[in-house]
Amino acid sequence: MKILVTGGAGFLGSHLCEKLLQNGDEILCVDNLFTGTRQNILHLLSNPNFEFMRHDVTFPLYVEIDEIYNLACPASPIHYQFDPVQTTKTSVMGAINMLGLAKRTKAKILQASTSEVYGDPEIHPQIESYRGCVNPIGIRACYDEGKRCAETLFFDYQRQHNVNIKVMRIFNTYGPRMHPNDGRVVSNFIIQALKGEDITIYGDGSQSRSFCYVDDLIDGMIALMNSKDGFYGPINIGNPNEFSILELAQNILELTKSKSKLIFKPLPQDDPKQRKPDISLAKKELNFEPKTELKEGLLKTIQYFKKTLDL
Is 202 noted as a catalytic residue in this protein?
Answer: no
| 74-80-83-85 Cα dihedral, nearest 10 degrees | 90
3-state SS assignment for residue 184: coil
- Asked if 83 contacts 20 with a C-beta cutoff of 8 angstroms, the reply is no
- Asked if 154 contacts 260 with a C-beta cutoff of 8 angstroms, the reply is no
Alpha-carbon gap, residue 125 to 272, rounded angstroms? 13
- Asked if 13 contacts 29 with a C-beta cutoff of 8 angstroms, the reply is yes
Kindly give the pairing relationship between strand 235-237 and strand 165-170: parallel
DSSP structure class, residue 73: S
Q: What is the CA radius of gyration of the chain?
A: 19
The catalytic residue among 143, 157, 174, 213 is 143
- Asked if 167 contacts 156 with a C-beta cutoff of 8 angstroms, the reply is no
Catalytic residues: 143
